[in-house]
């Protein structure tokens, strides 16, 4: 298949109401064959894993690239020079090298985002007045999240929706003006942004002793999580705070789970309890696997999340994340970043060594 054919097939696939196992498999295997043929580093990776399109029968057979692979390999079917947009991973790991995801066209990414966002976040609304707690796409052209939020604003935001982050950080005046306006007019309001930005908002409101009660129908979308000691406790405290400070019930606080290495996002149905059950649309499927064997674990066992995102057609669809999870009915629980083992013996572990060697 050509790129154009893949794009067309994907747009059709996303436009349908759902997909059977066979339908998902069929397109997954076609896209795998396309990536295998057009992406030499990925082909080498698959050969090392002793898998070729000929021997893959099922989407589960498609070799999942560890997300670190993006830092070492150029995973793109198209010539990166011809990409419409390149998103880069955050450079927090491994020598500060940032992985690159090239998109020859954003049409699939955008359709994927818009379709799922409508179902999972907008729900009964066609448009909402929005405030974005994240830099603009112009400020961060290589951020997939910046693009995602810009798209949310342009597709689903009413006139008057705006960014609440300026170059100097949180624009509190504007934020509180917006919140007060919503409270007064009774027009439902949506706040979207990175989880840590909400923490700043909460801190600022606490400092000022400010509490608002957003009108019914208002909602919050946070993403990215934050560093914490005990994640579960932190999450509960976080959503309690959002509910008490902003008056948005935890049920209307949606957490989005996405990453640069995907073109599709997962959502929960609110966070009355944490961790919430996450799920994605019909063009992405997930497994909980043993990271070493790649074998799928029995439902209820803790493992590492692997995703097969058909919409991420130009790079690799199947990735092995570093996120721990557990499969449950209708989705999975996200348990944060998979931690390494605490050294049990007196033999040095890689992480410790690197840390010590770098002084």
Partner 1 sequence: MNFDGKIIVVTGSSRGIGAAIAKAFASEGATVIVNYVQNASAANGIVTACKEAGGDAIAIQADVTSGEQIQALVDQTLMDFAKIDVVVNNAFKPYTFDPDNRKQFADLDWQDYQGQLDGALFSTYTMCQTVLPALKKRTQGSIINIASDLVARPTIPYHDYTTAKSALIGFSRNLAAELGPLGIRVNCVAPGLVYPTDASRQTKERIKEMIIAQTPMRRIASPEDVTGPVMFLASDWSRFMTGQTLYVDGGLVMK
Partner 2 sequence: MELKAGYLPGIKADNVDWQTLTYDRGGQAIDVSVPLLSEEQMKDLSARIKEASQQYLKSLTVSDITATIDAAVARLLDRKDTYRQQSEEYLPLITGYDAEMIRLGLTGYLKNFRQPELRRFIAEDFMNPKILDEFQPLPKGGYGKAYGPDLIAHIWAGNVPGLPLWSLISGLLVKAGNIGKVASAEPLMASWFARLIAEIDPELGKCLAVVWWKGGDVDQEQALLNQADLVVAYGNNDTLQQIRDRTPITTRCLTYSHKVSFGMISRAALDTGKAWEVAHQAAYDIVRYDQQGCYSPHVFFIEQGGAVTPQEFAQFIANELDCFEEKFPRRALTIEEAGDVAAWRQSEEMKSFSEGNAAIMSGASGAWIVAYSEAEEDLVPSGLNRTAKIIAVNQLDDVPARIAPYKAFLQTVGIAGPPEELHRLAGLLGAVGVTRISALEHMTSPEAGWHHDGRFNLLDLVTMTEVERSAETAAEAYSNYVD
Strands 169-170 and 100-103: unpaired
| 346 near partner 2, judged by CB under 8 A | yes
**Piece of 27-35, 69-77, 169-177, 226-234 that binds partner 2 (CB under 8 A):** 69-77
Residue 273: name the closest of 250, 256, 257, 254 by CA: 250
Structure tokens of 204?
A: 């600022």
Task: Report the residue from 47, 127, 181, 302 that binds partner 1 according to the rule CB under 8 A.
Answer: 47
**Residue 345 within binding range of partner 2, rule CB under 8 A:** yes
Q: Does 353 bind partner 2 (CB under 8 A)?
A: yes
SS3 (DSSP) at 130:
strand
- DSSP symbols for 301-324: -EEEEEEEETT--SS-SEEEEEEE
Q: How far apart are CA 74 and CA 271, in angstroms?
A: 37
Contact partner at residue 141 from partner 2, partner 1, none, CB < 5 to 8 Å by partner kind: none
Pairwise CA distance, residues 328 & 240, whole Å:
24
CB of 48 to partner 2, least distance (A): 6
* Residue 50 binding result from partner 2, partner 1, none, given CB thresholds of 5 to 8 Å by partner type: partner 1
Quick check: 52 binds partner 1 (CB under 8 A)? yes
Match 């557990």 to its residue by tokens: 326
Which residues, at least 6 apart from 3, have a Cβ–Cβ distance to it below 8 Å?
A: 34, 77, 78, 104, 314
CA distances (Å), origin 19, targets 25, 34, 126, 213: 9, 20, 25, 40
Residue among 14, 48, 232, 251 that touches partner 2 (CB under 8 A): 48
Q: Which is nearer to partner 1, 49 or 200 (CB)?
A: 49
Considering the complex, state which of residue 43 and residue 105 has its C-beta at the smaller distance from partner 2.
Answer: 43
Q: What is the CA radius of gyration of the chain?
A: 21
291 binds, among partner 2, partner 1, none (CB under 5 to 8 A by kind): partner 2
Q: Which does 303 bind (CB under 5 to 8 A by kind): partner 1, partner 2, none?
A: partner 2
> Residue 60: which residues within 8 A CB-CB, separation 6 or more?
287, 296, 308
- Using CB under 8 A, pick the residue from 2, 22, 54, 347 that binds partner 1: 54
Residue that has been written with the tokens 């405030």 in this structure? 131
Choose, by CB under 8 A, the member of 2, 55, 126, 168 that binds partner 1: 55
Question: 298 to 327, contacts with partner 2 by CB under 8 A?
Answer: 302-304, 324
Nearer of residues 187 and 296 to partner 1, judged by Cβ: 296
By CB under 8 A, name the binding residues for partner 1: 46-47, 49-52, 54-55
Q: Which residues bind partner 2 (CB under 8 A)?
A: 41, 44-45, 48, 66, 68-69, 72-73, 290-293, 295, 302-304, 324, 338-350, 352-354, 356-357
């Amino acid at each position: 298949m050509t790129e154009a054919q893949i794009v067309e097939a994907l747009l059709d696939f996303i436009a349908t109401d759902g997909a059977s196992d066979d339908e998902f498999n069929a397109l997954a295997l076609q896209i795998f064959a396309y990536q295998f043929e057009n992406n030499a580093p990925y082909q080498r990776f698959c050969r090392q894993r002793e898998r070729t399109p000929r021997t893959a029968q099922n989407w589960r057979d498609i070799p999942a690239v560890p997300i670190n692979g993006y830092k070492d390999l150029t995973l793109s079917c198209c010539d990166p020079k011809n990409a419409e947009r390149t998103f880069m991973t955050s450079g927090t790991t491994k020598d500060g090298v940032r992985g690159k995801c090239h998109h020859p066209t954003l049409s699939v990414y955008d359709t994927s985002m818009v379709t799922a966002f409508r179902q999972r976040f907008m729900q009964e609304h066609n448009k909402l007045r929005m405030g974005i707690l994240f830099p603009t796409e112009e400020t961060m052209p290589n951020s997939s999240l910046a693009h995602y939020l810009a798209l949310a604003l342009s597709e689903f935001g009413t006139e008057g929706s705006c960014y609440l982050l300026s170059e100097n950080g949180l624009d509190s005046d504007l934020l509180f003006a917006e919140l007060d306006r919503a409270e007064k007019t009774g027009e439902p309001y949506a706040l979207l942004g990175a989880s840590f930005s909400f923490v700043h908002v909460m801190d600022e409101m606490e400092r000022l002793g400010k509490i608002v009660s957003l009108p019914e129908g208002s909602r919050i979308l946070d993403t990215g999580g934050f560093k914490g000691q005990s994640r579960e406790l932190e999450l509960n405290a976080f959503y309690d705070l959002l509910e008490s400070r902003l008056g948005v019930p935890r049920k209307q606080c949606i957490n989005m789970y996405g990453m640069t290495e995907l073109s599709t996002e997962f959502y929960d149905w609110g966070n009355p309890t944490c961790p919430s059950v996450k799920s994605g649309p019909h063009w992405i499927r997930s497994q909980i696997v043993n990271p070493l064997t790649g074998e799928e674990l029995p439902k209820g066992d803790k493992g590492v999340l692997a995703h097969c995102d058909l919409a991420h057609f130009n790079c690799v669809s199947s990735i092995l994340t570093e996120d721990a999870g557990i499969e449950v009915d209708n989705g999975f629980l996200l348990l944060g970043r998979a931690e390494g083992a605490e050294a049990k013996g007196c033999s040095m572990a890689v992480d410790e060594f690197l840390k010590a060697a770098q002084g």
